[in-house]
Amino acid sequence: MKSRRKREAMYEQFGPAYEQARYGDPYKELYRHMRNEVLLGIVKSAVRASSPCRVLELGCGTGLTLRFLSSELKNVEIFGMDFSDAMLSQANEKRRADGAPFCLARGDTFKLPFRDAGFDVVYSTRFIHQFSHDEKRRIFSEINRVLVPGGASATEFYTPHGALSRRLRGVMETPAPHQCPTICEIRDLLGRNIALRPVRMMGTRAIARLFGEDVLHQLTSLTRFAPLRVLAEEYFVVACKR
């Protein structure tokens, strides 16, 4: 509860400057672009057989990803949920300005304000890392409750290798151990039938500058395989509800 109040106070303090702080420089914008494209592919694959379908983002923040998906997906109902009024206010501004069709709700991740089996896809970006392993377990229990049978969760995780890379580079805001679960810990939460969709790899900035974004996308995608997985810094983990 204390950490939640701390995060909420931070969001209130940042206000409209939050997006600039998180994604202001070109490197962070490149990361967000890559994340959007990976997530779009995951959602399209998951909803292909279900029409119309419903998609939920947990920890939607200022609505950047909601706005992107709304512009790319048709015949899909998109919902965003957050606990912060400051974040939801900014997301609502985007919705009004763009006429975007996504819906917003304020709620508690540990007790989602949605009915059972109401969504085809539930995703989150840079959200689940804030919680302990036991708290993650409770969250995934709620995610499974609101997913339809065969529905998919897509969750962005930091990797242990990425955390080590950030420490070696002296990067600020290095993730704590609980923020970077191992594959074994993720399987404990989601089962063994998972798929990895890399978002960012070590050396992203240099690779993009030297070889371009197409090569970067190809190399990043390869880090889903075990020999190259040590190069991945962040990835989505996709799991289907059985």
Q: How far apart are CA 60 and CA 5, in angstroms?
A: 17
Contacts of 168 (CB under 8 A, 6+ apart): none
What's the pLDDT band for 108 if we cut at 50, 70, 90? very high
Q: How far apart are CA 207 and CA 149, in angstroms?
A: 40
Query: Which of 82, 146, 78 shows the shortest CA–CA distance to 109?
Result: 82
Contacts of 117 (CB under 8 A, 6+ apart): 145, 146, 147, 148, 149, 151
What average pLDDT score do residues 189-198 get? 95
Q: Which of 27-31, 40-44, 108-112 bottoms out in mean pLDDT, i.e. has the lowest?
A: 27-31
Q: How far apart are CA 5 and CA 108, in angstroms?
A: 13
What is the CATH class of 2-240? Answer: alpha beta
Question: What does pLDDT average to over the chain?
Answer: 88
DSSP label of 165: H
What average pLDDT score do residues 125-153 get? 95
The answer to whether residues 178 and 132 touch, using CB atoms and an 8 Å cutoff, is: yes
Q: Phi and psi for 218 in degrees, rounded to 5? A: -65, -45
CB atoms within 10 A of CB 226: 9
Judged against a pLDDT cut of 60, whether residue 146 lies above it is answered with yes
For 98-102, which contacts have Cβ atoms below 8 Å and span 24 or more sequence positions?
Answer: 98/67, 98/70, 98/71, 100/66, 100/67, 100/70, 100/71, 101/70, 101/77, 102/63, 102/66, 102/67, 102/69, 102/70, 102/78
> What is the model's pTM?
0.89
What average pLDDT score do residues 48-68 get? 88
Query: Which of 186, 196, 205 shows the shortest CA–CA distance to 234?
Result: 196
What's the pLDDT band for 4 if we cut at 50, 70, 90? low
Judged against a pLDDT cut of 70, whether residue 242 lies above it is answered with yes
Task: Report the SS3 class of residue 228.
Answer: helix
What's the pLDDT band for 184 if we cut at 50, 70, 90? very high
Q: How far apart are CA 103 and CA 57, in angstroms?
A: 10
Between the two ends of the chain, the Cα-to-Cα distance in Å is 32
What's the pLDDT band for 169 if we cut at 50, 70, 90? low
What average pLDDT score do residues 109-115 get? 96
Buried b (16+ CB within 10 A) or exposed e, 83-104: bbebbbebbeebbeeeebebeb
Q: How far apart are CA 142 and CA 121, in angstroms?
A: 13
Tell me how many degrees the CA angle 156-160-162 measures, rounded to the nearest 5: 75
